[in-house]
A and B are shown apart, each in its own frame.
Chain A
Amino acid sequence: MMFFEDTSFSEIPFRYDDLYSLMGYIDNKTPDEEVQMLIENMLLELQPVCKPRMGYKVVRGEAISKKEIRLEDKVLNTGKIITYALHESERFAVFTATVGADFDCWLKRTEKEDDIVKAYIANTLGSIIAEATVSLLLQRLEATLTDEKMSNNYSPGYCDWALIEQKKLLSLFPFGVTGISLTESCLMLPIKSVSGIVGIGKNVQKRPYGCAICKMKNCIRNKNRHLKPKKNIE
């Protein structure tokens, strides 16, 4: 079963809280008035160029070891944390979501304005919109399930799933359907894109992300990422 949809910014569950959190604000603090105004202006500016495309493919699969999951003829080395989180799954949905190539062009134009504040806000907005597109996609997927449950979502490059595995994940989709390509270094283009996997099954649980044991400091899902490092290491 495969589903793909082009959507629009107005459909995306964009939340200011998520944006502020990604910018590092803690304890309900919010940005300076000038920053808030910039955010509003940029949100208006980006809406015509924000053309999200999202979709998933549901496939049969199973965990074949503590670190691997087999999907169709592909073995994904998802690592211990993710494999454990997905081990009760009977089916898996591999998914992609992208904010689109026009957004990338807008981002590049914004960066060329030589205003580091605007460039930062534009970049952060892109990341949040990509994640919000994933949320919308997962809502769509969840709505199709009757007596099955869905796990949290996981992506290559996060937890202990190597970024290079993105190649295998994207190869599960027919050519061209995702609107996403990979560079040699496994960077997705358009740059504001997300790929990943969720587990589906009657006994699947939404386990908390394994942030306590993961070393990624900038992970969007790591609620502790704002905690100050214990010490500065030169």
Chain B
Amino acid sequence: MTDLNLLYEAILKGKQKSAVELTNAALADNVEPKLLIDEYMIKAMGEVGLRFENQEIFVPELLMAGRAMKASLNILQPIMKNSGQKTSIGKVVIGTVKGDLHDIGKNLVASMLEGCGFEVIDIGIDMDSEKFVEAVREHNADVLGLSALLTTTMPYMKTVIDALRDAGLRDKVKIVVGGAPISAGFASEIGADGYGETANSAVTAVKNLLGLGK
């Protein structure tokens, strides 16, 4: 039998190859995908988030863990979908707004959200309001995450929120904003539901908005 604690360790240490091998080995042992995700992988990512917050590990190690988690999820999720099981705790569409090409912060948040069990649809950078509206509608997103690093592009977040309102989708999706120049005051001013000062706090905001907080 596969020692499933090794899967926990592989995710925690960001060992993608080991995580994939152990996931496949566990499946060969007929372990339920949901058990792997809930009891080992999400717990490992929870520990990663904690260590990151405590500055015991840093962005590269956090991303390595996220990469390992994603590789294992890519194996498990199709199996769960085929058997009609729910594969995520919520859907998040995320992107960087028009005029802005920065994506490190967005990728970090996306990775951490996936680590917590969310399905993340990353639509990329330099996205106009129509693309955000389309993605929210198409994926029936629970949360929309908007990112901007420039003071010149952050006002576009309001354009996106207005476009969602015009499309009749504003009440169907929670909006979380983040990025270096963004503040809680700005988030509130433009009508966002939440704000993440750090990647961890963005995840906390998403969870709280969906009633999944501790």
Q: Interface residues, chain A, CB within 8 Å of chain B?
A: 23-26, 29, 31-32, 34-35, 111, 115-117, 119-121, 123-124, 157, 162-164, 183-187, 191, 215-218, 226, 228-229, 232-234
A157 touches B151 (CB 8 A): yes
**How many angstroms between the C-alpha atoms of A120 and B61 in the bound complex?**
11
Report chain B residues within 8 Å CB of A29: 58
Report chain B residues within 8 Å CB of A123: 104
**How many angstroms between the C-alpha atoms of A44 and B140 in the bound complex?**
44
Q: Can you spell out 8 A-B residue pairs with CB atoms less than 8 angstroms apart?
A: A32-B64, A34-B14, A116-B63, A117-B67, A157-B150, A157-B151, A186-B152, A218-B180
7 shortest interchain CB distances as A-B pairs: A185-B99, A232-B201, A24-B58, A185-B152, A218-B180, A233-B184, A35-B60
B89 CB to closest chain A CB (Å) equals 18
A26 touches B151 (CB 8 A): no
Report chain A residues within 8 Å CB of B67: 115-117
B99 touches A183 (CB 8 A): yes
B197 touches A186 (CB 8 A): no
Report chain B residues within 8 Å CB of A124: 104
Known A-B contacts A117-B63, A117-B67, A184-B99; A163 and B195 likewise in contact (beta carbons under 8 Å)? no
**How many angstroms between the C-alpha atoms of A234 and B14 in the bound complex?**
28
B101 touches A191 (CB 8 A): yes
A12 CB to closest chain B CB (Å) equals 22
B213 CB to closest chain A CB (Å) equals 9
A34 touches B64 (CB 8 A): yes
Report chain A residues within 8 Å CB of B111: 116
B60 touches A23 (CB 8 A): yes
B195 touches A234 (CB 8 A): yes
**How many angstroms between the C-alpha atoms of A229 and B182 in the bound complex?**
14
**How many angstroms between the C-alpha atoms of A232 and B61 in the bound complex?**
22
Nearest to A185 among chain B residues (CB) is: B99
**How many of B's residues come within 8 Å of A, CB to CB?**
37
A171 CB to closest chain B CB (Å) equals 17
**How many angstroms between the C-alpha atoms of A216 and B53 in the bound complex?**
19
B167 CB to closest chain A CB (Å) equals 24
Q: Tell me if A's interface is mostly helix, strand, loop or mixed.
A: loop
Report chain B residues within 8 Å CB of A226: 55
Report chain B residues within 8 Å CB of A111: 103
Known A-B contacts A217-B180, A229-B198; A32 and B55 likewise in contact (beta carbons under 8 Å)? no
Known A-B contacts A183-B99, A218-B180, A233-B184; A117 and B64 likewise in contact (beta carbons under 8 Å)? yes
A209 CB to closest chain B CB (Å) equals 16
B60 touches A185 (CB 8 A): no
Interface centre among A23, A29, A184, A217, by most chain B C-beta atoms within 10 angstroms, is A217
A121 touches B60 (CB 8 A): yes
Contact among B55, B181, B195 with A228 in the assembled complex (CB-CB below 8 Å): B55
Known A-B contacts A29-B58, A116-B66, A226-B55; A232 and B101 likewise in contact (beta carbons under 8 Å)? no
For window 31-90 of B, CB contacts with A under 8 Å fall at 53, 55, 58-61, 63-64, 66-67
Report chain B residues within 8 Å CB of A121: 60
**How many angstroms between the C-alpha atoms of A231 and B58 in the bound complex?**
19
**How many angstroms between the C-alpha atoms of A68 and B195 in the bound complex?**
33
**How many angstroms between the C-alpha atoms of A162 and B154 in the bound complex?**
13
B99 touches A187 (CB 8 A): yes
The answer to whether the Cβ of B128 comes within 8 Å of any Cβ in the partner chain is no
For window 102-122 of B, CB contacts with A under 8 Å fall at 103-104, 107, 111
The answer to whether the Cβ of B9 comes within 8 Å of any Cβ in the partner chain is no
B152 touches A164 (CB 8 A): yes
**How many angstroms between the C-alpha atoms of A124 and B55 in the bound complex?**
19
Nearest to B181 among chain A residues (CB) is: A216
